[in-house]
Amino acid sequence: MFKTILVGLDGSKQSEKALATAMDLAKKYKSKLHIAIVIIGRRSRITAPLIAEEQAMLNKAVAVSSKAGIKAKSAILFGIPAEQLAKYAKKEKIDIIILGRFGKGLKAEFSKFLMGSVSKQLTKIAPCSVLIAK
């Protein structure tokens, strides 16, 4: 049913739940798992330490998946999270995107106030099904 699964991470407890859900589905359907982090902004303006921090989070998620016997591919994306995840999903022919219900920290709360949550936006523009993990 789901040959390719994309999970979006941001370091929050909710995204950890999304990863666990994605891993469960990947095991059940023998799916390929894509794990992505979106850094808000242009790549040219992002500092190397931030990219390294996000890459470390991705590496940990891939290692956890691998240990569970799930083949995973990781990606760091730059820009507006919902748009970048939707674009990646289309490019990689993703069957389902899994996200946590809320992002992390005050910055995420401010972002929701300005433009709505990433998960809400993604349900409107994604080229595939979207599952929100609680």
pLDDT value, residue 31: 97
* SS3 state of residue 80: coil
How much is the CA Rg of the chain, to the nearest whole Å? 14
What phi, psi does 44 have (nearest 5°)?
-65, -20
63-121 pLDDT, tens digit per residue, is 999 999 999 999 999 999 999 999 999 999 999 999 987 665 444 444 444 445 888 88
Domain of 53: which CATH number? Answer: 3.40.50.620
pLDDT at site 46: 80
Domain count, the chain: 1
pTM: 0.89
- Give kind and range of the element (H or E) at residue 84: helix 81-91
Domain containing 126: what range? 4-133
* Residue 129, token pair as written in the block: 């099904």
